[in-house]
Chain A
Amino acid sequence: MILKTLQSMGLLHGYGIARRIEQTSGDLLSVNYGTLYPALLKLEQDGYISSEWGVSENNRKAKFYKLTRAGRKQLEKEAREWYQATAILARFLNAEEPNS
């Protein structure tokens, strides 16, 4: 989700990512924003995103994250796998209906 958000939004700071995820999910997903930061660190260590300090629109110093090339690939791969998994699941669910 983080990767997708960064893909669509480009450069973004932590709060921005959290808000964006909440908005995209239509406020269905609501977690503590704090859990976001260890996840961001993990992604950075894996090399999927990179970060740098910058200045926000309202002149506040903040850390900005952006997607790397490896991150883009990883996103494509995970999206593909997800579609595949859901497609398989969907087929099962559809196939079972007539029988039940």
Chain B
Amino acid sequence: MRPLRATWARFRNLFRTRKLDRDLDAELAAHLEFHIADNLRAGMSTAEARRKALIKLGGLDQTRDDYRGTAGFPFLESLLQDAQFAIRTLRKSPGFTAVAVLTLGLGIGANTGIFTILHQVLLQRLPVPHPEQLVLLYGPGPRQGHISSDENHTDGAESFSYPMYLNLRDRNEVLQGLAAKDSATVNLSFHGSTEQADADVVTGNYFETLGVHAAFGRTLEPADSATVGGNPVVVLSYAYWKNHFAGDLALLNQTLLVNHRPMTVVGVVQPGFEGIQRGFVPQVYIPITQPLSSEPAGFENHKDYWIKLMGRLKPGVTLQRAQVGLAPLYGSLLRDELPLQTGWNDTEKAQFLDKKIVLRPGARGRPILEASAGPQLVALMCLVAAVLVIACANVAGLLTARGAVRQREIGARLSLGASRARLIRQLIVESLLLSAAGTLLGLLIADFTSSTLAHFAEENGIATGLSGALNSPVLLFACALTFLCGILFGVAPALRTTRVELVSTLKEQTGTLASGSSNTRLRKALVVCQVAMALLLVTGAGAFARSLYNVKHIDLGLHPYHVLQFTVAPLLNGYDQTRTFTFFHALEDRISALPSVLSISAAQEPLIADSDRGSNVTVEGESPAEAGSRHALRNAIAPGHFSNLAIPLLKGREFSRADGSGSPEVAIINESFAKAFFPATDPVGRHMKFGGRSGTLNMEIVGVVKDSHHSGVKEQIQPLVYIPYSQEKNVGALTFYVRTAQDPLTVAAAVRHAVSGLDSSLPVADLRTFERQIDRQFATDRLIAALAGIFGALAAVLAAIGIYGLLAYTVAQRTREIGIRMALGADARLIVALLLKDIAVLIAVGVILGLPVSYALGRLIDSLLYSAKAFEFLGIAGALALLLLLTLLASYLPARRATRVDPLVALRYE
């Protein structure tokens, strides 16, 4: 307590030294006066009284110094002095300061900006109490049935069936709570206007398990999902309530139409909670047992795997113990389900029973964005870190050059008795100050960078809800960077600058040469480092650019230009199948009748949108072993789809309106399907069916089309079966493709009008040009290529500036030597060769050091590249050529100056 109080008192005194000094002076004056008065009373003369009093008081300056020492923090005060001095010196050379601050600002800004996003995607934990207790459940291994998955590379292990969930929830002994969720897009109507919203359908214990409360009203409760159909209630996310309903509290207990079903708003979730899936922010939460469409969800079905589970460990139970604890229960549940798996041999059955439940840490929520954007972010972070290293090297180079100029000042101060430690401290304070100024500028750049990235992610459907705001961990990161950079570029020049031979420096003539050489050595090291880093960045930028080029030039097998796309989902508004089809037909007719619309088609699974659907197929003439065991993608389409998108028909015919729900069932297959299933025969006229071998082959193949990309730009084309949508069950939504004569966006309004003319409560979603849709697919590639390009260019320019600086400095230093050489008959070419030899060695060393680093980075980014390798001969050669060219450019001016040296002037130059 006491020390704290004293520290505080001292700290306050830092800011009022002047008043303290005045007070002490007054006090001492009073003291003297009392003493003199006493002495006078004792009979001394005035002069004697004064003298005695002064002697008794002792050295005034010493008293003052002691007093100040006690009053404040002498160390801090001198640090403040250093800072003040540094500010004065920096202001005296505004050019140097501006360049240094700008360079650092760019470096620190880019790093902080990328880190802001990286922190949210890879590091930030869910804003709930004790996130470390949360676990995600996975059930990897073979199983039969329908699996809907949203995580990559898990084979759907994250999806469980509802009955399995109930058993796990009620019979486990290691979890405090086990919640389940699924994501859904819903049509939300309020006061007559309808729009689509992202919903999390969750079990009633979801909020309780997470420890999330309501801002107003209540969250969902276990009772809300106790029975199928249960409580028709809905909870809004705070941001949605704020932005869409203007934060209107009157909304509580009012009714919204969710997919045409009335549901009561019972509450608003606490601000800050944005679901458990970073990058996917739900706007509403609905009990999982609410039927959202006429297609019933699988609440009873053990073979419908669709919900994702998150649990909270009991206090003191570790993840490993919980996993072991769940094993017997999971095993017995699997034994119960075994009879449901049909047609398996003993090995397959054994594999099924041998499956283990796997728990993973859930503190950061579901790792979907982490998996899809994490590696890119880490690669970007590495690139910007390299930029920062180059920036630091540049500033260190500048400081060293400045140090050389300040040699006389430093020498003078050393000879006047300043200690080297104190001078070093002062120089480091100066660099920290530069670094801090750079950070201030950097924060502006960071804010811009992260906001742009967040906006970009939202625009291109990569992630929603990322924030560009710089929060406290990010600021901490920026502070750490500041300090690190200040030390990184400050220490070596400070040590170098203060190592001065006093005599020679003060004598000045020979000084520049003697101390210059050690300065030059440091600057050479810095140039080597810059070249190495620049090589890394330029190689990386080249690789990303080649990858983007490759991606952009993938032949999709269809013609996406002048096509407008949009999605309507009448099923979400409670349409039955007949009404849906009537609606689709009417819409097709209305839109084709629009002027400037050439043709229209539609598909159940939107194209190039990362969405696909598949099932097992059985075809005519298959061997019994293969029958029903092979898998193919499927899509339901409108008549005229292939001609509309210019997908060539190889054989047979397209679908027409005549292929309706009553007429014979037909299918069109793609080339890959034909090759895989009918290697030797003509498929047209053959029969096939979806599903296993039992039952009749109900569909006749009427055509074969050329392969085209279906779900993504980078996908491997797979066997695919098209059927007319009017012969498909449960077509809830179609994505329409409208080919137009001019700019497709000009018909956008007319399209909206056509939809609302048929049903004003149906929202139109994903309205954009088909080209834009395809563009979104390689948005990330574009972004990374652009950023890598910017950083690579920045790195190359900074490295060139470094080389230029070093060479210019060397030429200035060696003017005398050059003059002598020229006077002795050396010609200009020899001089240039002499200078460039040095630089060439530096570049070579930089390249040799840079190659392994580039190789390491290459390994990291290879997985992000499309049919390109980061570390390949052409890329490296290109990067080297670029660096060489820049070096030559950077050397040109100084070299020319060297050849223009007039021997007479040079010899007098000192």
- Point out the residues of chain B lying under 8 angstroms from A44, CB to CB: 9
B70 within 8 A of A: yes
Nearest residue, chain A, Cβ from B8: A45
Quick one: given A41-B70, A45-B9, A45-B70, are A34 and B59 in contact (CB under 8 Å)?
yes
- Is B471 in the interface zone, CB < 8 Å from A? no
A54-70 Cβ-contact flags toward B at 8 Å (1 or 0): 00101011110000000
Bin chain B's interface residue count: 20 to 34
B10's nearest neighbour on chain A, judged by CB, is: A45
Residues of chain A contacted by B62 (CB below 8 angstroms):
34
Residues of chain A contacted by B38 (CB below 8 angstroms): 19
Inter-chain contacts of B67 with A (CB < 8 A)? 37-38, 41
Task: Mark each residue of chain A from 39 to 52: 1 if its CB lies under 8 Å from any CB of chain B, else 0.
Answer: 00110111100000
Quick check: B30 and A61 within 8 Å, CB to CB?
yes
Known: A38-B66, A60-B33, A61-B30. A32 touches B57 (CB 8 A): yes
List chain B residues, Cβ under 8 A from A42: 6, 70
Q: Mark A8-38, 1 if CB is under 8 A from B, else 0.
A: 0000011110110000000000001111011
Is B626 an interface position by the 8 A CB rule? no
A34 in contact with B58 given A13-B34, A61-B26 (CB within 8 Å): yes
What's the Cα separation between A38 and B65 when bound, in Å?
9
How far is A37 from B69 in the complex, measured between Cα atoms in Å?
Answer: 12
Q: Which of A19, A32, A46, A62 contacts B27 (CB 8 A)?
A: A62
Contact A15 B9 (CB under 8 A): no
Give CA–CA (A38, B13) in the complex, Å. Answer: 14
Check A37/B30 contact, CB under 8 A, given A45-B9, A45-B70, A63-B23. no
Q: Given contacts A45-B6, A61-B30, is CB(A33)–CB(B56) below 8 Å?
A: yes
How distant is the Cα of A32 from the Cα of B38 in the complex, in angstroms? Answer: 17
B66→A35 contact, CB < 8 A: yes
- Say yes or no: A63 contacts B27, CB within 8 Å: yes
- Chain B residues whose C-beta falls within 8 Å of the C-beta of A37 in the assembled complex: 24, 27-28, 63, 66-67
* Cβ contacts B23-60/A at 8 Å (1 or 0 each): 11011101101110110000000000000000011111
Nearest-CB residue, chain B, relative to A18: B31
Contact assessment for A60 and B27 in the assembled complex, using a CB-CB cutoff below 8 Å: no
Instruction: Find residues 804-820 in chain B having any chain A CB closer than 8 Å to their own CB.
Output: none
A19 to B35: give the CA distance in the assembly, Å: 9
**Quick check: A47 and B5 within 8 Å, CB to CB?**
yes
Q: Which residue of the partner chain, among A16, A34, A45, contacts B63 with CB atoms under 8 Å?
A: A34
User: Chain B, 1-17, contact with A by CB distance < 8 Å: what is the 0/1 string?
Assistant: 01001100110000000
What is the CA–CA distance of A37 and B60 in the complex, to the nearest angstrom? 11
B71 within 8 A of A: yes
Classify chain A's interface size.
20 to 34
Q: How far is the CA of A34 from the CA of B31 in the complex (A)?
A: 10
Asked if A32 and B9 make an inter-chain contact with CB atoms under 8 angstroms apart, the answer reads: no
For A46, the chain B residues whose CB sits under 8 A away are 2, 5-6
Chain A residues with CB under 8 Å of B2's CB are 46-47
On whether the beta carbons of A38 and B33 are closer than 8 Å, the reply is no
Residue of A whose beta carbon sits closest to that of B9? A45
In the bound assembly, the distance between CA atoms of A18 and B28 in angstroms comes to 12
- Smallest distance from the beta carbon of A34 to chain B beta carbons, Å? 4
Query: Of B9, B30, B60, B69, which contacts A38 at CB under 8 A?
Result: B69
Query: Main secondary structure on chain B at its contact with chain A?
Result: helix
Q: How far is the CB of B689 from chain A (nearest CB, A)?
A: 91
B15 to chain A, nearest CB (A): 15
Q: How far is the CB of A67 from chain B (nearest CB, A)?
A: 16
Q: Report the separation of the CA atoms of residues A47 and B5 in the bound assembly, to the nearest whole angstrom.
A: 8
**Complex CA distance for A28 and B433, rounded to whole angstroms:** 54
Shortest distance from the beta carbon of B619 to any chain A beta carbon, whole Å? 93
C-alpha gap A38/B137 in the complex (Å): 67
Determine the residue in chain B with the shortest Cβ distance to A16: B34
Q: How far is the CA of A58 from the CA of B56 in the complex (A)?
A: 22
Q: Does A33 lie within 8 Å of B57, measured CB to CB?
A: yes
Q: A35's contact among B24, B31, B58, by CB below 8 Å, is which? A: B58
Contact A15 B30 (CB under 8 A): yes
Taking CB atoms and an 8 Å cut-off, the chain A residues in 54-100 that contact chain B are 56, 58, 60-63
- The CA-CA distance from A46 to B66 in the complex, in Å, is 17
B421 to chain A: closest CB distance in Å? 26
Q: How far is the CA of A56 from the CA of B57 in the complex (A)?
A: 20
A41 touches B63 (CB 8 A): no
Q: Chain B residues with Cβ under 8 A from A60's Cβ?
A: 30, 33-34
**CB proximity to A under 8 Å, residues B67-120:** 67, 69-71
CA distance A13 to B27 in the complex (A): 9
How far does the alpha carbon of A32 sit from the alpha carbon of B67 in the complex, in Å? 14
Query: Which chain A residue has the least Cβ–Cβ distance from B38?
Result: A19
Which chain A positions have C-beta within 8 A of B57? 32-34
Q: Provide the residues of chain A in CB contact with B9, threshold 8 Å.
A: 44-45
Cross-chain contact B63 with A13 (CB below 8 angstroms) = no
Closest CB in chain B relative to A78 CB, distance in Å: 13
Cα A47 to Cα B8 with chains together (Å): 12
Tell me, in angstroms, the Cα distance from A47 to B33 when the chains sit together: 28
A34: chain B residues within 8 A (beta carbon): 28, 57-60, 62-63, 66
Q: A44 to B516: give the CA distance in the assembly, Å.
A: 54
Complex-state Cα separation, A2 to B9, whole angstroms: 20
The distance from the CB of B50 to the nearest CB of chain A, in whole angstroms, is 14
Using A33-B57, A45-B10 as known contacts, say yes or no to A56 and B34 having CB atoms under 8 A apart: yes
Query: In the assembled complex, which residues on chain A have CB atoms less than 8 Å from the CB atom of B34?
Result: 13, 15-16, 56, 60, 62
Q: Closest CB-CB distance, B731 to chain A, in whole Å?
A: 81
Which residues in A have their C-beta under 8 angstroms from that of B35? Answer: 15, 33
- Give CA–CA (A13, B37) in the complex, Å: 15
User: Are B5 and A13 in contact, CB atoms less than 8 angstroms apart?
Assistant: no
Which chain A residues lie closer than 8 Å to B30 at the CB level?
13-15, 56, 60-63
Cβ–Cβ < 8 Å partners of A32 in chain B: 56-59, 63
Please give the distance in Å from A32's CB to the nearest CB on chain B. 3
- Return the chain A residue nearest B27 by Cβ: A63
Complex Cα distance, B24 from A14, in Å, reads 11
| Bound CA–CA A60/B33 (angstroms) | 9
* Cα distance, A33 to B59, chains bound together (Å): 10
How many angstroms between the C-alpha atoms of A45 and B59 in the bound complex? 24
A99 to B410 Cα, complex, angstroms = 68
- The distance in angstroms between the C-alpha atoms of A83 and B23, with both chains bound, is 37
In the complex, which residues of chain B have a beta carbon less than 8 angstroms from the beta carbon of A56? 30, 34
Complex Cα–Cα for A14 and B2 (A): 23
A45 vs B6: C-alpha distance in the bound complex, in angstroms?
A: 5
Q: How far is the CA of A2 from the CA of B33 in the complex (A)?
A: 21
Cβ contact within 8 Å between A45 and B5: yes
Residues of B within 8 A of A16 (CB): 34
Residue-wise, chain B 463-491 has the 8 Å CB interface mask toward A (1 for contact) of 00000000000000000000000000000
B325-354 interface code vs A (CB 8 A; 1 in, 0 out):
000000000000000000000000000000
Q: Give every chain A residue within 8 A of B63 (Cβ-Cβ).
A: 32, 34-35, 37-38
What's the Cα separation between A16 and B69 when bound, in Å? 24
User: Contacts of A35 on B, CB cut-off 8 Å?
Assistant: 58, 63, 66
Complex Cα gap A24–B438 (Å)? 62
With both beta carbons as reference points, the residue of chain A lying nearest to B63 in the complex is identified as: A34
A14 close to B31 (CB less than 8 A): yes
CA distance A35 to B34 in the complex (A): 17
Given A34-B57, A45-B70, CB of A14 within 8 Å of CB of B27? yes
**List of 5 A-B pairs having minimum Cβ-Cβ separation, nearest first:** A32-B58, A34-B63, A34-B58, A15-B34, A62-B30
Residues of A within 8 A of B (CB): 13-16, 18-19, 32-35, 37-38, 41-42, 44-47, 56, 58, 60-63
Q: Can you offer 26 A-B residue contacts whose CB atoms are under 8 A?
A: A13-B30, A13-B34, A14-B30, A14-B31, A15-B34, A32-B57, A33-B35, A33-B57, A34-B62, A34-B63, A34-B66, A35-B58, A35-B66, A37-B63, A38-B67, A41-B67, A45-B6, A45-B10, A46-B2, A46-B5, A47-B2, A47-B5, A56-B34, A62-B27, A62-B30, A63-B27
Supply 18 further A-B pairs (C-beta < 8 A) apart from A15-B35, A47-B5, A56-B34.
A13-B30, A14-B27, A14-B31, A18-B31, A19-B38, A32-B56, A34-B28, A34-B60, A37-B28, A38-B66, A38-B69, A41-B67, A45-B9, A60-B30, A60-B34, A62-B31, A62-B34, A63-B23
